Structures are given as C-alpha cells and as structure tokens.
Chain A
C-alpha cells in the first residue's frame, strides 16, 4: 500500500484513478516489489525466472492491460515468450521502427555488429540519415534499415543453389556452407540489405603494443564464433561466412532463446519494436494497424515484414 501511495502521479487531476493508470500502478508496484526481492536474493529470483521461462509460464496470468503498463521492452519480451509457445508456422515475426523516435544514435547498428561479430565491411542494420526540406524548413530523419524479411523475397529465387530460403517463421535464412558467393542475391535485393563478407578483420594490420590489452586479445575476440542460425561460425581463414552473402536474420538465435533481437534491446529511444504479428494482443500487431504505417518500396510487391511509423 505504501508503494501505491508513492504512485499518486498516475492519478488524474481530479483525484480519480483511471483504470489504465490503476493497472499501470499495480504493475509498477509489482515491479518495485520484484526489484526488492531481486536485491534480497538475486540468485533465487533469477532461478525462479528461468524456471518460468523453461515452463513457459512467464507472463501467464497477466492481462493485456497489465502488459501494456510495462516498459515496451519487458512487454515485448513477454509477448515473445508467449509466441514461442506456439508452433513456428503460426508465428509471424515483424519489426516496427518508429521514425519519430529514432534519434540516429546508431546504437542498433553497433549492437548488431557486436552480437553477430560482424567484420569490417559487413553491416546488417545501417541507419540512413536523410535531410529534407528547404531552409528554413529543414528536418532530418533517421531510417534504420535491417533486412525486410520479405514475404516475397526477391533474393530467394535467384539463388542458384538454394542457399537462401524463408523458414517456417518467415525469416529469410542463409546456408553459409552451401552458398557459392555469386552475389546474385545482392543485386536482387531492392533494399541493398545483403552484403558480402570479403574476409576483412579489424586486427589484421594492427601493431602489437606491449603492456596494452594487445592485438592478441582483440584478435581472439573477433575470431570468437558468432551464433548465427543456431550454429557457431568462428572466423578462420577463408572458411564461411567469408566469401558468402550475409544478412540480418532478426537475431533468430536470440529469439529462439526468448531474447529480443540485439537492435531492439540496444535502441535507447525505444524506437524499434519486435514481435509476433499473428498475436492480435501484441504490441507490434497494435502498431502496424496504425494509419501512419508504411513499408519501403511497397510497389515492388515484396511485402516486407519491417514496418515504419512515420
């Protein structure tokens, strides 16, 4: 009760508490209580949390109104866990990017690079900076550009060896071991969302300086395997993925573990949303039903699964 009293700002000016604010207050109160529990016995709380994930009971019992009161990241994570309870073919992952919220910090780009251990020259999610208008009415806009995970992906049929395909959840995947590196898919993608790995490394030509962290440590880091497509790809010589086409995969390896894509969690403006559009209660389903939603180059009929809010 003491916590509830602290949350009076949620009340309306007249003193009456709206249903929405009341539920929000309840959720926040729960969050505070959970935090206190966490501080007292972190291992027990985390163990219980993981158990809920394993059992698939996390988030159960909370109404959609409860979820809406949470931070969007927490809400999306719970919705993600809920979606994972369904068969893969019933999920439809989409990403929504709110252009008004994006501040062009490029944290998502770097988060993606770190998560997937991308070498120089390989980027899955650049942020395009656009300046438009005429002085004095000038504005800037930032457009993050992940892979659009098109429903009709032009990059798939052009592959001569079936090395790229749409999986059951609608994510366009790569089979690095099969890809011959012809780069036909790069030319076919209308969003330039595919890149080729030319085998560069950050540390290759760096001098070794004694007493500092050193090239060797950095080198070890960049040669550590990533976990794309649920496999481990250590960076060794000319082995795949060097020589292959590469692309954003919505951090599928994280999704399947119940973790949101790296670009979503690193977005400091909460401008990137992710979830199952087949779940009518999900945040993304809500967002893509808005009238200010758009998709890039829709005239090509690719049916992108990345939506932008203008």
Chain B
C-alpha cells in the first residue's frame, strides 16, 4: 500500500511535459491574442484570403486537424474494437482526450473562417443536405457528442459496455466524416484538381496515416513503462501501420500525379495546379517538408530504426507536424490557379488577387487556437486521469 501511495505521489510519467504544454499554451495564447482580437474586431479584412482565393491557411489547418483527430480515433477504435488490441486500449482516455481537444481546435479555427460565425446555427435550422458542408457540420456535431460521451465514460471508468458500443459506432461515423471532408473539395467541378472521386479516398488514407503517427507519438511520449515488452510490441506495430499507410498513400498519389501531368492529362487547368504544387514557389513545402521530413525520414525510422525510442518519437512527431503541408498543398495551389485568365488584373484590389501567402494575422489566429488547445491539453493531462498508469499500479 505504501508503495502505491508513493507511486501516486511521485510525479506521473510526462508530468514535466504536461506543465510545459500548458505553459507553452499560455505563451501562444498571448502571442496569438492580437491576431485574434483583430479577427474579432475587423472580421476577415486583415486576413490574406480574398474573393479569388477564398480559403487559405485556416481551412488547411482545419482539414489537417480533422485528419489527425478522425484518423487517430478511427485507427484506435478499429485496432481496439475490431482487432482487439488490448495494449492500445490502455491509453483509451488519452486518445479520446487528445481527439477531443484537436476537434475543438478544428471547430474554433473553421468558425474563425466564417464571415458570420455568429450564424453557425443556420446550418442546423436551414440545412441543405445537398451541401457537403452541411453534412460536415452535422457529422462533426454528432462526432463531438459521441466523443464527449466516450471521454466522460472513459474518465469515470464506468460503462465499459456502452463505451464499446460508442467506440464501434464511431467507426462508420468517423469514416463518413473523413469522406465528407474530402468530398467538400471533390465535388467542386470548377476546380479540376479537386474534382475527382479519388480525393475523398486520399483524405481517408492521409487521415489514417497521420492518425497512426499521432497514436505512435502519444505512445512514445506518454506510455508509462517504456522498458516493457508490451511497449516495444505496440510501438513497432503502430510504426509499421503508419509506415505502410504513408507508403501506400504516396504511391497512389504518385500514380495519380503521373496521369494528370502526362500530356496535360487533357485538362490544362488541373495540370497547372499540380505543377504549382510540384514546382511552384512553394515547391519546398511539398518536396522538403512533406516528402522529405514527413514521409521519407519517418518511414526510414519506422522500418529501420524502430528500436530506437527517441528516433521513433522524432519520426512520429515529424510526420504529425509536417502533414499540414499536405492540406496546405491541397487547398491553396488549386485556388490560386486562375479560372479565367486575366480576371485578377481586371479590377484591382488586394482581395481580388490570386497571389496568396498566409499573412501574420492568419498565423497569429492559428497560434491562438493552438495555444488554446495546448492550454486545455496541458491542464487536462495535469488534472484529469487521462495518462496511462504503470502496470503495477
């Protein structure tokens, strides 16, 4: 008993890290506050987005966060409830809490992107189910409620049967959510590079790949006993899943890119948008950030250096962080490709331009939202029973 008490008094695994997280959160909140205040005071005017590039940094980060949130929860529920992975089940509260915080961050960020966010309730009252955004909002709401219920039960440690049912229900719900988030872009016939049935599927694979790396990161950072065989087995399995998903996704994307670029693929506008990703001014965000740091380095670590705990953590962190380069490259290059040549020069205004580079205001709002998320996450880790306990406890 005395040993148990001492174990409880002893700082839990990751204690210092949790403090660091919420302190960093406060700093980010303070830094981002000016941008957020400008956003609230002046609307979307200070942001770099305009009428010809109507979506930018915030929508890209929203999709990135949705990938992380839904991808990690889908994979987690699949492995735990369908593949019966008992080891992974031990970090259920941590995974659910992480997903919940990321979901809140995503929703705040996308709300900031609305011209009238105070009217968000219109999507419930005047819903048009022909619109993919309607489905997105309704599914996200359902997912938020489901996740909150799962988290509540997991933190209380009760209702295991119900928790399992909710976890299984979250599988089709999460699958629909990620496919719908891809369809938001996929159904837009005006934008040829988006307008393909492959895009929702690419969203699905990308979400699973980034989600797998997030799960791996959570395990490598917060698992209580990193010397145990269970830890080694779990991390190796997650690394393999993440690695194969990334390789598979990259292979499919490469094949698609070839068919689009070959002789213009019959659609110059589509080819131009893809050329912009591969060889435009921000080529480095694709080749160096995504392919280099986000795929090659993590995959090499996952398959070659998987026994090194620190390298594994580094690989997972790199993969999780750099996946935002994918959503940025999906959203922005397509929108900066002109629909009608010469239109951007026809009437001059900063909001009628095809030149889009995220500005300070947009980055500050993102910083604020990440600060909010980090503060909530750090405090949650500190005060809620979400961290895994040692095996002997």
Contacts and interface: CB of A to CB of B under 8 A. Distances in A.
B162 interface: no
Given A157-B131, A183-B55, A190-B190, A121 B343 contact: no
Interface residues of A, number: 49
B379 interface: no
Contact of B126 (A126, A161, A188): A161
A242 interface: yes
A294 B126 CA distance: 37
The 5 closest A-B CB pairs, nearest first, are A181-B115, A243-B115, A190-B190, A126-B346, A195-B51
A70 interface: no
27 contacts: A109-B347, A120-B349, A121-B349, A126-B347, A127-B346, A128-B345, A129-B342, A154-B190, A158-B188, A160-B133, A179-B115, A179-B116, A180-B119, A180-B123, A182-B133, A183-B54, A186-B51, A187-B335, A189-B190, A192-B51, A192-B339, A195-B51, A198-B43, A199-B42, A200-B45, A243-B116, A244-B116
A158 to B, nearest CB: 5
Contacts of B54: 183, 186-187, 196
Interface in B42-70: 42-45, 50-52, 54-55
A207 to B, nearest CB: 21
Interface in A78-131: 109, 120-123, 126-130
Nearest to B138: A160
Contacts of B45: 198-200
A182 B54 CA distance: 9
B365 to A, nearest CB: 15
B161 to A, nearest CB: 36
A161 B127 contact: yes
Given A128-B340, A160-B127, A191-B339, A180 B114 contact: yes
A221 interface: no
A161 B123 contact: yes
Nearest to B137: A160
Interface in B337-393: 338-343, 345-347, 349-352
Given A154-B189, A188-B188, A196-B44, A121 B340 contact: no
Given A178-B122, A196-B351, A184 B191 contact: no
B130 interface: yes
A296 interface: yes
Interface of B: 42-45, 50-52, 54-55, 113-117, 119-120, 122-123, 126-128, 130-134, 137, 184, 187-191, 335, 338-343, 345-347, 349-352
Given A121-B350, A159-B128, A128 B342 contact: yes
A143 B342 CA distance: 10
B337 to A, nearest CB: 11
B190 A300 contact: yes
Contact of B343 (A145, A186, A199): A145
A128 B126 contact: no
Contacts of B191: 187
A194 interface: yes
B346 A145 contact: yes
Contact of B352 (A187, A195, A243): A195
Interface in A166-211: 178-184, 186-192, 194-200
Given A126-B346, A154-B190, A198-B351, A159 B339 contact: no
A251 to B, nearest CB: 18
Contacts of A52: none
A193 to B, nearest CB: 9
A127 to B, nearest CB: 6
Nearest to A245: B115
B122 A161 contact: yes
Given A128-B342, A180-B122, A300-B190, 18 more contacts: A120-B349, A121-B50, A122-B51, A123-B352, A128-B345, A159-B128, A161-B134, A181-B114, A181-B116, A183-B54, A188-B189, A188-B190, A192-B338, A195-B351, A196-B115, A198-B43, A198-B45, A296-B340
Contacts of A190: 189-190, 339
B55 A238 contact: no
Contacts of A122: 51
Contacts of B134: 160-161
B352 A121 contact: yes
Nearest to B131: A160
A12 to B, nearest CB: 44
Contacts of B184: 184
A158 B349 contact: no
Contacts of B126: 161-163, 178
Contacts of A187: 54-55, 188, 190-191, 335
